[in-house]
A = this chain, B = another copy of it.
């Protein structure tokens, strides 16, 4: 059950409490969320005669990005939305990409626009992201949606933290008053996650690479969300017994047998016996991200109606 390489400092803790190490099945949650979205798409079309449409833009030939955009397009299609792919050569200029975004912004059949990151050198990703109409910014990475999240206003929320929040609310219900600690302060996950949890009434701390003694804070967390990209960073003695642990990290590492496997930022085998609930890697947060992109596309389609109403 555990492969602790350092002695457990709190054996009594790990044995007590009502429940320990419950796996949060993100894959199953994402399946049911996609089913719900597919039903909502049917109902939305029945009521308004509109089918939500998502445009995904890929520039260049990064193999991982090609897989991501293909999966996004396929899942969009599977829930009954329109899916548009724009695959542009590595030599695409920033000006040409801005022209395409302008055209997609103006296209009434497109409700969501996603430009796959990273972009080739010579293209300013921030300028591109901000050029997307905030009402179509289904990645939630533009300045306006970041501002709306910070101000506690409705808007389009970055997919990964939105997925984490859905899992947390499904497991814990109302989050008000819980101590949440977010490890990692990125624009993509850490900061929006912290703001989302703050808006839900959590007491929120953000721990990052400059933090002197991160364990002192992580050990107080009822909710611990980890998004650092450092595999196995979170050890058993970083976690409060009974905490809900959400592991956003995903890294491919070699195994003893010469193959590779995917691991998270949390040392799962150590932490699972202590945590109340924990997401595995893979099968935890990962499947939620694309499902939330679809959710955001539906939200964006609704926004397009309220705008023209």
Tell me the A residues contacting B by CB distance below 8 Å. Answer: 126, 142-153, 176-177, 179, 185, 187, 191-192, 195, 198, 201-208, 210-212, 214, 216-217, 220
Contacts and interface: CB of A to CB of B under 8 A. Distances in A.
Contacts of A191: 150-151, 195, 198
7 contacts: A143-B143, A143-B147, A147-B150, A150-B187, A203-B208, A203-B211, A205-B205
A224 to B, nearest CB: 14
Nearest 3 CB-CB pairings of A with B: A147-B147, A143-B147, A146-B147
A150 B153 contact: no
Which of A203, A204, A214 is the most central at the interface, judged by chain B CB atoms within 10 Å of its CB? A203
Question: Which among A147, A179, A212 has the greatest number of chain B C-beta atoms within 10 A?
Answer: A147
Contacts of A220: 216
A207 to B, nearest CB: 6
A214 B143 CA distance: 32
Contacts of A214: 203
A243 to B, nearest CB: 15
A187 B176 CA distance: 18
Contacts of A177: 210-212
Contact of A206 (B126, B203, B207, B208): B203
Contacts of A148: 143, 146-147
A151 B206 contact: no
Given A144-B143, A177-B210, A203-B212, A150 B195 contact: yes
Contacts of A143: 143-144, 147-148, 151, 153
Nearest to A216: B220
A152 B187 contact: yes
Given A198-B208, A203-B211, 4 more contacts: A150-B192, A151-B187, A152-B187, A203-B217
B176 A210 contact: yes
Contacts of A146: 146-148, 150-151
Contact of A205 (B126, B201, B203): B203
Of the listed residues A148, A150, A176, A198, the one surrounded by the most CB atoms of chain B closer than 10 A to its CB is A150
A215 to B, nearest CB: 12
